[in-house]
Amino acid sequence: MDRIRILKKLEAGEISAEEADRLLKELGSQNGFRKQKEEFEEKLNAFVADLGNFLKTAVRFVEARIEEVFPGEKAE
């Protein structure tokens, strides 16, 4: 239920002021949770991208060391 619908129900007398207050607070906490979830997902995506870059760099480093120790050999 969105804010306008809650207020219209209050205006029409379908819900009490206390019920409207409770619903509006609940709606606010849902929006806060949604924002926290989105922020977490953004941070997680950034972490995964950074991890991917780190792993690519690590693989290149290991491949270079293998090439130094075993010239002409390719790691599979």
Split the chain (76 residues) into runs of 10 and give each run's mean pLDDT. 89 94 88 86 96 97 93 70
Please check whether residue 74 lies inside any domain of the structure. Answer: no
Domain that holds residue 14: 3-69
Q: What is the reported pLDDT for 30?
A: 82
Is position 38 within any domain? Answer: yes
Alpha-carbon gap, residue 4 to 62, rounded angstroms: 60
CA gyration radius for the chain? 27
* Residue pair 9/15 in contact by the 8 Å Cβ criterion: yes
DSSP label at residue 70: S
Q: Work out how many domains the chain is built from and give that number.
A: 1
